Structure formats: C-alpha cells, structure tokens
C-alpha cells in the first residue's frame, strides 16, 4: 500500500495534503555522504533527490518542495511549512509522519516517525475505521 494508492482509493472521501517541512538529510546538515545516500536511494526505491542543501529562504524551501512533489508523483497537493517550522514543531513531523485529522481538527491517527514509522497500510486501516464511524 502506497500513499498514491491511498489517495486514489479515498480522495473522494478524505482530503489529502502533504506539508513539506525541513530537509531530513541536507548536504549541509545531517547527511550521510553521497555513497551512502545512493545506497539508501536504491534500497528505498525513492525517486527523490537526496543531495539537497537545507533551504535558507522560503523560496528555496518552496522550490525543494516542488521538486519533491514532482519526483514522488503522489498527485496530492503540497503545502510548505514556513521557515519558523511551526507545523513541524506542532506535529513532531520530522523527518516524516502520517496523520489523519477529523473534520473537527482532532488527530485520530498519528503514525510513528519515519522512515520506520511511515506506514501507509496503518493509515489505510485508520481511514477505514474512521469512515466506518461516519
């Protein structure tokens, strides 16, 4: 189960959004080096670039978010966290997390931190449970 699969299956019932936060492994930050990052890229099957510098301006962050959204090809609208990282801090989103939030704004599912807690199948189950109660 991928996010793309979830979106295709439930986009008529659930509003999906992606919020691009800060870079998890920027070259000028917590980076493992090109060789190791290329191994991770191959193992994960990810299509995104892992040799990106940490954006210093909102324009740079928006450009990185656009590149990421295009590479992943989820088809889900992408928003960008401001440079103060307010969304990231409020949702403990770094490096990546999945959430399901109901119409009242209550978190009904909070996935674990990625990459190991990034489980679209668990989000699928949470969506099914939520829709069954509606």
Whole-number pLDDT of residue 72: 78
Cα first-last separation, the chain: 23
Q: What is the mean pLDDT of residues 83-111?
A: 93
Angle at 63 between CA 69 and CA 66, to 5 degrees: 15
Instruction: Specify the pTM.
Output: 0.77
CATH for 3-133 is 3.40.30.10
Query: Is the pLDDT confidence value at 109 over 60?
Result: yes
Those residues whose C-beta lies under 8 Å from the C-beta of residue 67, and which sit 6 or more positions away, are 48, 49, 52
Q: What is the pLDDT of residues 66-93, one digit of tens each?
A: 988 887 777 889 999 999 999 999 999 8
Those residues whose C-beta lies under 8 Å from the C-beta of residue 85, and which sit 6 or more positions away, are 21, 22
Query: Is the pLDDT confidence value at 26 over 80?
Result: no
Whole-number pLDDT of residue 29: 61
DSSP secondary structure letters along 1-59: --HHHHHHHHTTTS---EEE-S-SS-TTSS---HHHHHHHHHHHT--S-S--PPPSSHH
Contact status, residue 122 vs residue 108, Cβ threshold 8 Å: no
């Amino acid at each position: 189960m991928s996010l793309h699969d979830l979106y295709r299956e439930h986009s008529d019932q659930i509003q999906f959004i992606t919020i691009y936060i800060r870079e998890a492994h920027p070259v000028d930050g917590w980076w493992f080096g090109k060789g190791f990052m290329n191994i991770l890229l191959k193992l994960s099957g990810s299509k995104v670039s892992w040799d990106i510098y940490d954006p210093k301006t909102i324009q740079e962050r928006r450009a990185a978010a656009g590149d990421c959204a295009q590479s992943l090809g989820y088809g889900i609208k992408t928003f960008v966290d401001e440079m103060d990282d307010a969304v990231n801090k409020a949702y403990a989103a770094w490096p990546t997390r999945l959430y399901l939030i109901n119409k009242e704004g209550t978190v009904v599912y909070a996935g674990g931190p990625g990459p190991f807690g990034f489980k679209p199948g668990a989000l699928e189950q949470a969506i099914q449970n939520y829709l069954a109660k509606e």
